[in-house]
């Protein structure tokens, strides 16, 4: 089963593909790699999930925000590639959690993103990863994720 079939079987709704809010592109292909800029938890209605995980949002809400960020990245992949089936594998993820300085569960929160990638791409959706806490993120969004994917024509 391909990624497009898995997405449909999971009955997931992608938000609109995000547009740049500054001087950058949302994704850039170099050879067989697609570098995806930082994305936030964009919902299908165009709103974002805001707040600090550990203060405004509990861990479960943070995990849901990370998953929503993954859906936004899937929307960008589909927009740039035409089909999620062109993804060979997820290579690298950088996940940032808007949280207090003493928060320690960033890896668990970013699992919301990572688990979604595995659901959609199978084992090819499991790549290398870093998860960090951030004192603030653009606009106050709860999560930001950037990623690198290997893709095919």
CATH value at residue 127 = 3.30.1330.40
User: How many domains are contained in the chain?
Assistant: 1
Q: How far apart are CA 98 and CA 140, in angstroms?
A: 8
pLDDT, position 31: 98
CB 92 within 8 A of CB 144: no
Does the global pTM surpass 0.75? Answer: yes
Q: Provide the mean pLDDT of the chain.
A: 97
Q: Which domain holds residue 146?
A: 3-151
% of the chain exceeding 90 in pLDDT = 99
Closest to 137 in 3D by CA, of 50, 60, 59, 27: 50
- Strands 33-39 vs 87-98: parallel, antiparallel or unpaired: unpaired
pLDDT digits (tens, 9 = 90+) for 2-39: 999 999 999 999 999 999 989 999 999 999 999 999 99
């Amino acid at each position: 089963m391909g990624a497009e079939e898995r997405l449909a079987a999971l009955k997931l709704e992608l938000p609109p593909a995000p547009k740049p809010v500054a001087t950058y592109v949302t994704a850039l292909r170099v050879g067989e790699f697609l570098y995806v800029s930082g994305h936030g938890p964009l919902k299908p209605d165009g709103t974002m999930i805001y707040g600090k995980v550990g203060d405004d949002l509990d861990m479960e809400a943070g995990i849901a925000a990370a998953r929503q960020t993954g859906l936004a990245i899937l929307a960008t992949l589909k927009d740039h590639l035409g089909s999620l089936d062109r993804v060979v594998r997820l290579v690298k993820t950088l996940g940032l959690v808007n949280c207090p300085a003493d928060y320690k569960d960033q890896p668990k929160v970013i699992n919301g993103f990572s688990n979604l990638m595995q659901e959609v791409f199978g084992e090819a959706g499991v790549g290398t990863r870093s998860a960090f806490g951030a004192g603030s993120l653009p606009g106050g969004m709860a999560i930001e994720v950037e990623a690198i994917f290997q893709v095919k024509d």
